[in-house]
Structure 1
Amino acid sequence: MTIPTKKRIWGWFMFDWASQPYNTLLLTFIFGPYFAEVVTAQYMSSGLEEELAKASAQSAWGWVLAISGLVIAVSAPVLGALADNSGRRLPYIWAFSLLYAIGAASTWFAYPEGFNMTLVMGAFIIGLVGMEFATIFTNAMLPDLGSREEIGRISGSGWAIGYLGGLMALVFALLFLAENSEGLTLIGQHPLGGLDYENREGTRFVGVFSAIWFLVFMIPFYMWVREPKEQPARVKGVAKTALIELGRTIRKLPKSPSLANYLASSMLYRDALNGMYTFGGFYAVGVLGWSVVDTGVFGILAVIGGAIAAYLGGRADSRFGPKPVILISIVALIIAAISIVMITPTSIYGVMVSDEGLVAGRTASDIAFYLAGILVGAAGGSIQSASRTMMVRQANPARMTEAFGLYALAGKATSFLAPALIAATSALSGSQRIGVTPLIGLFLLGLVLLIWVKPDGEDDAIWESEA
């Protein structure tokens, strides 16, 4: 049965909706800060001073991200080449979706007492790797959904829908699941369904909730998304051919300067953006003394900003192309990063402020941090949407999944860089606040490299010469 194009597009959209809670609930706004709280307390109980315990917890979280990034960096291009040479993508999406669900649900075992670091970190890595790999193969389907002029709008709409999914999941989790130190959710009630707040079962159930959310909302994807008929499946010699083709693609990168510079640029600015996302909760907990619920409210505002900006950015992408959208987004992220560094509990950009609550108990510094978070969410939403349409323009149309594998490699090859720079700078300065300043430098380097990126990618003659 032939699936109408509109249904295929909506099925493709639903992957973003279904998968976003791993980023929103687990990586950034709920489980990440919970990890910081529990591991810091564990280190302090072993005799470490508070600041050293916080630094050690941040280091452990960095290792989680670095290990998962290394697995993705090494494997993504090879898997992409395998998919291109076999003519199949959906089986890979199904397999990695299963890893997503297993990894997310397994965070239930992150007990506050007797916290098993190896088990929790391992489970989280499995889920994160599953989510990232499934995303690679889903992104590679984007060119099949519309013309070059249409894919910017499609990508932006998909990213906006993903943000809305993350927002809905986050609001539910904050209202009914995630509890603060007093055992209360955002609406002042104990977690839903009799979950034991003393053992933080509400917060720990967020991972199970994310897995259920993913499996339910992936149903339209599985029903409506199909492999392109013009890509016949091949089974003989696929692995060998894939490795040969991948090697050839990498060797030819110097002959494709626009693609090479784009991969390098996106490597830096995406690494910096991921640093802002993954350490935002740690930063707010350590510098401003926020709780898991506080960071969740911050997340709601950031996600709303991201959804709106992704939608509008997709329209701008279709009209002006992805490069201007990326440039403006990087400038906005630099402004946000500088602002975050200049916010302390008692000052904003060096101007002293009161530490008394102004609105709903939030201080001036809290409000300023919320505004910076909205800017990060907005710029982050638009830049991620535009980045994948830019990759479509830069890549060889015949090797699209492999190209997104390289894109994932570029995004993960230096995934250790932002955490390492933050850790080193924090240690040398003795300040969590100063520790995030390297992100500004990474954004600036990414901005400079974009100068050599052609808005419409390489000439067709380059790809024809490789055929």
Structure 2
Amino acid sequence: MSETTAQAPATALAAPKDISRKKIVSWAMWDWGTQPFNTVITTFVFSVYITGSAFGDTNATSQALSLSTTLAGLFVALAAPVLGQTADRSGRTVTVLRSLTWTLALISAALFFVRPEPAFLWLGLGLLAVGSVVSEIAGVNYNSLLDEVAGERNVGRVSGFGWGMGYLGGIVVLLVLYFLFIQPEVGLFGVTGADGMDIRVSMVVCGVWTLLFTIPTFLALHDRPATTRRPIPGIDRWNTRQPAVIWRWLAPVVASYAELWNTVRRLWDVSRHTVFFLLASALFRDGLAGVFAFGAVIAAGTFGFSSGEVVIFGAAANIVAGLSTIALGLLDDKLGPKRVIMISLIALVASGIVIFAFHDGGATVFWVAGLIMCMFVGPAQSASRSFLARLVPAGRTGEVFGLYATTGRVVSFLSPLLFGAAITVGAAVTGGQNTQYWGILGIVLVLLAGLIVMIPVKEHTEHHAIS
């Protein structure tokens, strides 16, 4: 069935609201406050700690990390749209977000109890996996609040500001922890590396950081009025099942999945270009994740960066990404999010090819091309979020952003898979010992696939109602 020509109803962004700079900054502080989990715990510090030799054989710990991460991602893919839908219907998005945020802070601090011994491996991986789930589901609720603080005319700059604040917050806390606890032989409060105490204390700081810096978010934002709350369509049909005790708990879940399927079906019938956008964004968002996931690996393995130089480059990369995301958010509102996404992806593909072609040119090549890549990662992510926010009808933000999270998770294996496959191909083609630089081509292929799928997607102004 082709797209209908019916006029789309007013989107959530079009609804009248009190837009203020204070609310925008308070909303963005959530990204600043929760970023330690992504930057410190998941990327640079705890994941490296938990796969270290103190916990067992490197291959075994890495495979265990992969398994726990995969299981967490699978749960997010299955649960995100339904939990987002539940928050929409209850109208308690801010309350749910606050509970998830406090839980994330508690999990971050609880990593203190993961001592560098094999017996603590699965405790650490379990906490990390649960934290990843909580972080992702919280992110769905956070994204769905974008329509509370932004309007149609400024959604791009607001989205960019929030994403940029996340990058900057992450690098600030990373540098604070690195120079106060991790790098010195004797850090603040006499903390040393004995018994992994430098890393473990850093986890407590991450939890406190999240708790403190998200306070403005929950003081400024509030749940929607009770009048917006509504039951799940068709739940009465499931509530009548026997045994009643079991179906009292299962009925909301089953009815939510049934309604989600109806949403996807209506979306395909009414706004097929929105489906194409979800597919394209899933592809290029996985490629964007790959840039940061494997950038440090390539810097060290191909361009000879020391661990200290990797940290310095990581700091520069996050600062560049944060500032460029805030700046290009202004272009999002002027040029439209699709143009920002296309420009960013073209620049990323070109920079990746430069890194591959000139891999023997020394560290300068990676500094220049790598920072250019980082400059366009954030804007593509932010514009993708603002593109979808411009389409969502009032009362459906949590569900649709949950679907957005799910589509991203479905293809999240592509960048790691193609990164490794490209290295294998490089070794076969060149016969060389170190063909790690070929891995960038795997990431470029994912970005290019997203770019190609994005080309025919219509601008957000030409999409029809998600409804």
Query: One fold, TM greater than 0.5?
Result: yes
SS at 1:452 equivalent: coil
**6-15 or 110-119, which moves further after superposition?**
110-119
Off by >6 Å, runs of 4+ in structure 1: none
Give how far 1:234 is off.
4.0
Counterpart-to-counterpart distance in 1, 2:401 and 2:389: 9
* Percent of aligned pairs with the same amino acid: 31
Residue 209 to residue 115, structure 1, CA distance change in 2 (3 Å): farther
Counterpart-to-counterpart distance in 2, 1:57 and 1:292: 21
For residue 259 of structure 2, the aligned residue among 245, 259, 262 is 245
For residue 151 of structure 1, the aligned residue among 126, 151, 155 is 155
Conserved? CA contact 1:28–1:281, under 8 Å:
no
**58-67 or 135-144, which moves further after superposition?**
58-67
Counterpart-to-counterpart distance in 1, 2:90 and 2:416: 36
**246-255 or 101-110, which moves further after superposition?**
101-110
In structure 2, the partner of 1:303 is: 318
In structure 2, the partner of 1:191 is: 187
For residue 225 of structure 2, the aligned residue among 223, 229, 237 is 229
In structure 1, the partner of 2:288 is: 273
Give how far 1:330 is off.
1.0
Structure 2 counterpart of 1:7, one-letter code: K
Conserved? CA contact 1:77–1:404, under 8 Å:
yes
Counterpart-to-counterpart distance in 1, 2:396 and 2:29: 24
Alignment of 1:54-65 (within 5 A): 59-65=63-69
For residue 101 of structure 1, the aligned residue among 102, 105, 110 is 105
Conserved? CA contact 1:164–1:307, under 8 Å:
yes
* In the alignment, structure 1 residue 379 sits paired with structure 2 residue 371: no
Counterpart-to-counterpart distance in 1, 2:111 and 2:357: 34
SS at 2:155 equivalent: helix
Counterpart-to-counterpart distance in 2, 1:432 and 1:177: 32
SS at 1:394 equivalent: coil
Give how far 1:93 is off.
0.9
Residue 4 to residue 389, structure 1, CA distance change in 2 (3 Å): closer
Structure 2 counterpart of 1:192, one-letter code: L
Counterpart-to-counterpart distance in 2, 1:105 and 1:279: 27
State the Cα RMSD in Å: 2.8
* In the alignment, structure 1 residue 336 sits paired with structure 2 residue 340: no
Give how far 1:208 is off.
2.0
Give how far 1:395 is off.
3.0
Structure 1 counterpart of 2:348, one-letter code: L
* In the alignment, structure 1 residue 205 sits paired with structure 2 residue 220: no
Conserved? CA contact 2:160–2:382, under 8 Å:
yes
Residue 23 to residue 225, structure 1, CA distance change in 2 (3 Å): same
For residue 278 of structure 2, the aligned residue among 256, 263, 283 is 263
Give how far 1:244 is off.
3.2
In structure 2, the partner of 1:453 is: 457
Conserved? CA contact 1:32–1:282, under 8 Å:
no
Residue 33 to residue 434, structure 1, CA distance change in 2 (3 Å): farther
**334-343 or 389-398, which moves further after superposition?**
334-343
Residue 451 to residue 288, structure 1, CA distance change in 2 (3 Å): closer
Residue 129 to residue 282, structure 1, CA distance change in 2 (3 Å): farther
In structure 2, the partner of 1:294 is: 309
Conserved? CA contact 1:325–1:383, under 8 Å:
yes
TM-score with structure 2 setting the length: 0.82
In structure 2, the partner of 1:420 is: 417
Residue 265 to residue 415, structure 1, CA distance change in 2 (3 Å): same
1:412-446 Cα distance to aligned partner (Å, 9 max, x none): 11112222333444456554332342211110110
Residue 450 to residue 336, structure 1, CA distance change in 2 (3 Å): same
In structure 2, the partner of 1:90 is: 94
In structure 1, the partner of 2:127 is: 123
Counterpart-to-counterpart distance in 1, 2:45 and 2:358: 22
For residue 400 of structure 1, the aligned residue among 397, 400, 405 is 397
Structure 2 counterpart of 1:305, one-letter code: V
1:321-344 Cα distance to aligned partner (Å, 9 max, x none): 111111111122223333444565
Give how far 1:7 is off.
2.8
Residue 458 to residue 102, structure 1, CA distance change in 2 (3 Å): farther
SS at 2:92 equivalent: coil
Structure 1 counterpart of 2:161, one-letter code: S
* In the alignment, structure 1 residue 7 sits paired with structure 2 residue 22: yes
Conserved? CA contact 1:30–1:296, under 8 Å:
no
Give how far 1:405 is off.
0.4
Counterpart-to-counterpart distance in 2, 1:3 and 1:151: 14
Give how far 1:141 is off.
1.0
Give how far 1:316 is off.
0.5
Conserved? CA contact 1:272–1:439, under 8 Å:
yes
SS at 2:326 equivalent: helix
Structure 2 counterpart of 1:443, one-letter code: L
Counterpart-to-counterpart distance in 1, 2:172 and 2:321: 13
Structure 2 counterpart of 1:125, one-letter code: A
1:199-257 Cα distance to aligned partner (Å, 9 max, x none): 34223433222111100111111111112337533468565653332111111232222
Conserved? CA contact 1:259–1:458, under 8 Å:
no
In structure 2, the partner of 1:389 is: 386
Conserved? CA contact 2:32–2:169, under 8 Å:
yes
* In the alignment, structure 1 residue 167 sits paired with structure 2 residue 171: yes
Residue 268 to residue 21, structure 1, CA distance change in 2 (3 Å): same
**304-313 or 273-282, which moves further after superposition?**
273-282
Conserved? CA contact 2:55–2:121, under 8 Å:
no
Runs of at least 5 residues in structure 2 that lack an aligned partner in the other structure: 1-16, 236-251, 428-434
Give how far 1:315 is off.
0.5
Residue 427 to residue 120, structure 1, CA distance change in 2 (3 Å): farther
Structure 1 counterpart of 2:411, one-letter code: T
SS at 2:396 equivalent: helix
Counterpart-to-counterpart distance in 2, 1:137 and 1:173: 28
Give how far 1:23 is off.
1.9
Conserved? CA contact 1:82–1:239, under 8 Å:
no
SS at 2:458 equivalent: coil
